[in-house]
Structure 1
Amino acid sequence: MNNAQTVPTNGTDTTDNLPGENYRMVDALGHRLRVYDEGPADAPALVMFHGAPHNSLEFRYNVPAIVGAGYRVIVPEHLGAGGSDRPEEAELYSGRHDYERALAVVDALGLETFYVEGGDRGSLPAWMLAALNPERVLGLVSENVSHLNGFFIDPALDQRKRSWYMSYFQFEAAEEALRADDWALAREFFDWHPDMEHILADWERPNGLKASWLNWYRSTVNPDTAPKADPLPEVTAPVLQLYTLNDPYIGPEQLITGREFIKGPFTLRRIGGAGHFIARNAPEVFNREVIKWLGEREEERRSS
């Protein structure tokens, strides 16, 4: 583990969008997902999974640097987010379905092997791809969330306390409360997120709030109706674990419980002050750490 990194500026000197010509629609198990795809087709690919609530713009300050370092970057927008389909059925938004659609996307793009990155909602497809497809995933970069067995199977009491909102969002009354007074509760809840206007733009579309945020909780962590999570296999691919101590939603204990299930080469990096959304809040440090780590993994592959 290295020393704490200092969070730099929030990327305000970079374009506020991703080039529209790099988006495509990809069929994933009967639903269309909008996917951002930039970089040489034959370059090592990094598939990045954004959190909730957000869309591919969460990575707009990361993609240019990673592509510039010689990689292909692919960002699928989850069902309900960005330009992807927004069906009504809540059960379609589960973490397991996110994983299955993610696998369909990489298959549709013809990726035999690839790296994965994810945080928040994106943690589930990233960790599940690595655990269930070890022959294809070259390595994993995770923001705050460790191996899912340490988060969902037997979470520590501190993490249960931090996850209170997952229970609150099961109720229909939560939607009305979030919308009240120009989204005052939502704005306060996401104090650490600098992209509230992008998020609200998604929420204010028909079915937007449920599709891009609430349905994930209602289908994945509802204590009465969500399928019980089965333990995942150990992850044997190299892992770069980025974390910060000021994440209000994810506690450090799950780094310890999750570490038990990581058997491949493991790199732990603390990024001070980055909050829950590390790639968005600390893009310069994130980009430097990820590009360095990818370069080391690629050098190892060439020399093996």
Structure 2
Amino acid sequence: MNNAQTVPATGTPTTDGLPAKNYRMVDALGHQLRVYDEGPADAPTLVMFHGAPHNSLEFRFNVPALVQAGYRVVMPEHLGAGGSDRPEDVELYSGYHDYERARAVVDALGIDTFYAEGGDRGSLPLWMLAALNPERVLGIISENVSHLNGFFIDPALDQRKRSWYMSYFQFEAAEEALRANDWALAREFFDCHPDMEHIMADWERPNGLKASWLNWYHATVNPDHAPKVEPLPDVTVPVLQLYSMNDPYIGPEQLITGREFIKGPFALNRIGGAGHFIARNAHDVFNREVIKWLGDRESERLGN
């Protein structure tokens, strides 16, 4: 285990129900990530990976219910997001490096086994942890994105169409276009996301837009420069797949292609009208479904 030192985060205000005292800075492979950590140290742990461009505030409506239900919730903010480091080196923002840093965080916190949840950018560390570390991952909850082999290796034509923006964001002109007219294009792209004020606060910082959003695309899906994606092993841990049919970025076909690589216990729950960020947009339903699923997994694990 990596017993890297963690220190309290400084200068972090209390924001929308996430107390500053629960944040700490964790060294993850030489970079400082801000991590939210709440709940008993000996409770079953749920590690939650936010999407992009966002930060730990994406889950502020989920944490209280999860902690009250008896779980410890740990939320690392990805490199470039929230209070985490924002280095200039684009290559550091790849999905695989997100996975490596996620693993370093749970090691630094001394968490041997855990459940994991995530969507959007958080889908990569989520599925990689499950596929590559099944002895540590007790189960995963995925928002919309299925097993990564079905998304990156041979995506369906519909998904290629939905992912048009990944190519657009490779061009330098995209940053200028997103900033124009008080972020008009960015606002429209996110279809009136309820957390635009938090997202834009990250963008307005030095290197903020690139670090919290665009660098991930350059480092992960650039057809000329991104590392070749290798197929992941099958996932054998329990999976709760949440999906909303009105997600404009992730199509239902990838649920079928990804299902081929899920060999463990599997449940698919459709959550109507939740869009791309299910935990944020349908938090009451999300909390109920996740707490029930976690409780069932814990009962099975403990033989109750």
Tell me the TM-score normalized by structure 2.
0.95
Amino acid of the structure 2 residue aligned with 1:298? E
Query: Structure with the greater relative contact order (CA < 8 A, sep ≥ 6): 1 or 2?
Result: 1
Report the Cα distance in structure 1 between the residues aligned to 2:254 and 2:187, rounded to whole angstroms.
26
Report the Cα distance in structure 2 between the residues aligned to 1:86 and 1:175, rounded to whole angstroms.
17
Report the Cα distance in structure 1 between the residues aligned to 2:65 and 2:256, rounded to whole angstroms.
31
- CA distances 1:117-143 after superposition (whole Å, capped 9, x unpaired): 000000000000000000000000000
Report the Cα distance in structure 2 between the residues aligned to 1:116 and 1:37, rounded to whole angstroms.
14
Report the Cα distance in structure 2 between the residues aligned to 1:167 and 1:193, rounded to whole angstroms.
22
- Using the TM superposition, give the Cα deviation of residue 192 of structure 1 relative to its aligned residue in structure 2, in angstroms: 5.3
Structure 2, unaligned runs of 5 or more: 1-14
Residue in structure 2 matched with residue 46 of structure 1 by the alignment? 46
Residue in structure 1 matched with residue 213 of structure 2 by the alignment? 213
Q: Secondary structure at the match of 1:128?
A: helix
Q: Give the direction of change, closer, same or farther, for the CA distance of 1:192–1:248 in structure 2 (3 Å limit).
A: farther
Structure 1, unaligned runs of 5 or more: 1-14
Matches within 5 A, 1:1-304: 16-191=16-191, 193-303=193-303
Q: Secondary structure at the match of 2:141?
A: strand
Question: 8 Å contact 1:34–1:77 — kept in the other structure?
Answer: yes
Calculate percent identity across the aligned residue pairs.
86
Report the Cα distance in structure 1 between the residues aligned to 2:86 and 2:17, rounded to whole angstroms.
22
Q: Secondary structure at the match of 1:138?
A: strand
Q: Give the direction of change, closer, same or farther, for the CA distance of 1:103–1:168 in structure 2 (3 Å limit).
A: same
Residue in structure 2 matched with residue 11 of structure 1 by the alignment? none
| RMSD, aligned α-carbons | 0.8
Question: 8 Å contact 1:44–1:72 — kept in the other structure?
Answer: yes
Task: Count matched residues.
Answer: 290
- Using the TM superposition, give the Cα deviation of residue 17 of structure 1 relative to its aligned residue in structure 2, in angstroms: 3.5
Report the Cα distance in structure 2 between the residues aligned to 1:202 and 1:254, rounded to whole angstroms.
30
Question: 8 Å contact 1:141–1:241 — kept in the other structure?
Answer: yes
Amino acid of the structure 1 residue aligned with 2:47? V
- CA distances 1:63-85 after superposition (whole Å, capped 9, x unpaired): 00000000000000000000000
Residue in structure 2 matched with residue 6 of structure 1 by the alignment? none
Question: 8 Å contact 1:49–1:119 — kept in the other structure?
Answer: yes
Deviates more, 1:192-201 or 1:151-160: 192-201
